[in-house]
Copies of this chain bind each other. A is one copy, B any other.
Amino acid sequence: MTLQVYFNAGASLWPEYEPLLRDGFKVAGIKVNLFDQTDDPASVDYMIYAPRSKADDLSAFTNVRLIQSLWAGPDLLIANPTLTQPLARMVDDDMKLGMIDYVMGHALWHHLNMPLFSQAKPGEWLSEHFPGLPRDRTVAILGVGQLGMACARALAVHGFRVLGWSRSQKSDDLVSCHAGPDGLSHVLGEADIVVLLTPHTPQTENLIRSETIALMKPGASLINPGRGALVNDADLLAALDSGQISYATLDAFRSEPLPADNPYWTHPRVQVTPHVASETRAETAVQIVVENLRRAEAGETVRFLVDRGLSY
């Protein structure tokens, strides 16, 4: 049987993914018709999908057995009311490595007092602000799922004291794990650097807002490689102005590209990065796609299936 596989993930990705997907299915011995345009949605068996794609109304794809997302975060997909088919999100090892790079690099930047040194005036020799060692610095990772725990462990191996927080209690030999509202208070009160890697759900919307910012150590810093909606922007800007938060490195925003008139661009205590903390990489993503379609077709358990009740 030949499977009908529709690549519904943005025209710019097609040239990169098409040859890799054809090779991948061939190696796996799966016969497919692979196409990036269709006039017959009901004939499609599997969909490879990224949000903000060609066809965001998915209601006509009535026979799709699995939608395999190319994105790690399922929030934008779940917000689409026409998406009712089984949905698997993307978790690939290279995405993990990229996220570890981003979190480690920016945590070290904060730790090394670079927000201060990078703004020194000519001749301003601030050697008395010699940084401490990682063992004296506490980093909190809010959201210790696949990506978050990988980052937390990398920071712990480097020598930082690392606290993890998540909806449900996790445990790890390197990371001190906490859960629930009491856990959040504890973790925010201890951390010098707070990293946001929770999925965006109704429960985590505005996770960083006046009430939670007030629980933070005065002068702590923030890194958001997660989702823009985790942060109440007005509250964060107020905390940066008051000094309650000393610095913020932000990669995810409620509106992207971040508009030129957004105050984050010019705030002296904010570093904007253009949503580059991590990205699905075609070579490894294709392996996940092919393996998940093989599993679905063989009746085996599909990996990283999204539980709509939890929003991830």
Contacts and interface: CB of A to CB of B under 8 A. Distances in A.
Interface of A: 94, 97-98, 101-102, 104-106, 108-109, 111-114, 117-118, 120-123, 125-127, 129-131, 133-134, 154, 157-159, 256-262, 265-266, 271-276, 279, 281
Nearest to A129: B276
A104 B108 contact: yes
Main SS at interface, chain A: loop
B118 A271 contact: yes
A276 B130 contact: yes
A123 B109 CA distance: 23
Nearest to A277: B112
B123 A112 contact: no
24 contacts: A94-B133, A97-B133, A97-B159, A101-B134, A104-B108, A104-B158, A105-B108, A105-B112, A105-B114, A106-B112, A109-B109, A112-B276, A113-B276, A117-B276, A120-B274, A122-B262, A122-B265, A122-B266, A123-B257, A125-B258, A125-B274, A129-B274, A130-B276, A133-B281
A102 B97 contact: no
Nearest to A125: B257
A237 B98 CA distance: 32
A57 to B, nearest CB: 26
A305 B97 CA distance: 41
A214 to B, nearest CB: 30
A114 B125 CA distance: 23
Contact of A131 (B101, B130, B133, B262): B101
A129 B183 CA distance: 37
Contacts of A123: 257-261, 265
A266 B119 CA distance: 11
Contacts of A104: 104, 108, 158
B260 A117 contact: no
B98 A133 contact: yes
Contacts of A102: 112
Nearest to A98: B133
A117 B257 contact: no
Contacts of A262: 122
Contact of A122 (B117, B157, B158, B260): B260
A120 B257 CA distance: 13
